[in-house]
Amino acid sequence: MRPPRRILLALDASSHSRAGLRAAVRLAAPTGAELVGIFVHDIALLRLAGLAGATEIDALSAEARAVERARLERQMEALARRARRALAREADRREVRWSFRTARGRVAAELRTAAGEADLLILGVRGWFPGRGPGSTVRALLADPATPVLVLPRKSEIEREVYAVAASPEEAAEVAEAGGAIAAPLGQPLTILVPRGTGERAAGVLEESGLRASVREARIDSNGLPLEPPPPACGLLVLPSTSLRGDPETVRRVLRRAGCPVLVAT
């Protein structure tokens, strides 16, 4: 994986997506990548607004009120404008090229489609729905990523060391390339985590590939899924796409255990 030249950033104006925005600008600034912000009008909400007698419960007062399509659309437009303003403010400050677009449909599907034209998709670990683990969109995208996906928990930063996980010494070169694409522009050291007993081989593989990274042995399952939390110095964990096995539950468990931004390579 080369350093991204076009980054797609999913924006919904939630606090999670603001963490994604900061990371995207941080990555784009040194690489000169173009930043494309996208806000998806969720088809599920639009359909809800069309249902006769649809009612919503106010999040603060817990009072019920009728869902009005016009009001809902105005609210969604307002969120889109907020997302655009946030993107403009952050990107302009770091002199990053940017554009913004909206889409309408299923969120995960629209993002996957849009990500086809980008080198990297960045999004927050979840949207507006309360909770701690990854939201449905992240779970759907990570279960079958077509483009490298960087997921950021709320308030997280990508300012520390980069660790990439390889299921085998042979994968070391692949994950080192993906991790290096992020670590190099950030100016952070890259460490490859390999299963125990394979460190030497992995180092050899890296040397043969002409890649520069440290190698460290860790408890890793055969799919490349770390069985222990990453080291405290870890600011970004790079996983091979195979590690998640298309399983949303695995995605949830891995992200919660990581406790830091996670990049799933393809």
Partner 1 sequence: MTPPQETAVAVPPSLAADRLYRRCDPAALGFETTDEVEPLEEVVGQPRASEALRFGIGMRAAGYHIFALGPEQSDRRGIVRRYLRRQAAGEPRPGDLCYVNDFDQGHCPDALYLPAGVGGRLSRDLDRCLEELKPALQGAFESEEYQTRRQGVQEEVGEEHEADLEGLREEAAEKELALLRTPGGFAFAPVKDGDVVPPPEFDRLPEAEREELKARIEGFQERLQAILRQLPRRQREVRERMRELNREVARRVVRDLFAELRSEYAEYDAVLEHLDACEEDIVDNVRQLVGGQQQEEDGRRRAAAGAPASIPGGAPELRRYRVNVLVDHAESEHAPVLYEDHPTYQNLLGRVEHLPVMGALVTDFNMIRAGSLHRANGGYLVVDAHRLLTQPFAWEGLKRALQSGELRIESPREAMGLVSTVSVEPEPMPLQVKVVLLGDRVLYYLLSQLDPDFPQLFKVAADFADEMDRTPEDEALYARLVATMVKENELRPFDGGAVARVIERSARLAGDGEKLTAHTREVLDLLRQASHWAGEDGAEIVGAGHVQQAIDHWIYRSDRIRERVQEGILRDDLYIDTEGAREGQVNGLSVLQLGGFAFGRPSRITARVRLGSGELVDIEREVEMAGPIHSKGVLILQGFLGGRYATERPLSLSASLVFEQSYSGVEGDSASAAELFALLSAIAEVPLRQSIAVTGSVNQHGEIQPIGGVNEKVEGFFDVCAARGLTGEQGVIVPAPNVKHLMLREDVRRAAEEGRFHLWAIETVDEGMELLTGRRMGERDEEGEFPEDSINGRIADRLTRFAELRRQFGPAATRDGRRNGDA
Q: Which residues bind partner 1 (CB under 8 A)?
A: 42-45, 47-48, 50-60, 62-64, 67, 72, 75-76, 78-79, 106, 127-132
Helix or strand run (H / E) with residue 141: helix 136-143
How many whole angstroms separate alpha carbon 48 and alpha carbon 18? 27
State whether residue 32 is helix, strand or coil.
coil
Question: Which residue, 51 or 88, is less far from partner 1 as judged by CB?
Answer: 51
Strands (E) located in 88-206 = 98-105, 120-124, 149-152, 161-165, 190-195
Would the CA dihedral through 115, 121, 126, 127 be positive or negative?
Answer: negative
Minimal distance, residue 56 CB to partner 1, in Å = 4
CA-wise closest residue to 17 among 160, 112, 182, 155: 155
Question: Toward partner 1, which CB reaches closer, 54 or 103?
Answer: 54
- Contact criterion met (CB below 8 Å) for 132 and 234: no
- Work out how close the CB of 264 gets to partner 1 at its nearest, in angstroms, rounded to a whole number: 23
Q: How far is the CB of 148 from partner 1 (least distance, A)?
A: 26
CB of 37 to partner 1, least distance (A): 18
Closer by beta carbon to partner 1, 127 or else 230: 127
Q: DSSP assignment, residue 43?
A: H
CB of residue 219 to partner 1, shortest distance in Å? 24
Decide whether 128 or 201 has the Cβ nearer to partner 1.
128
CB of 77 or CB of 92, closer to partner 1: 77
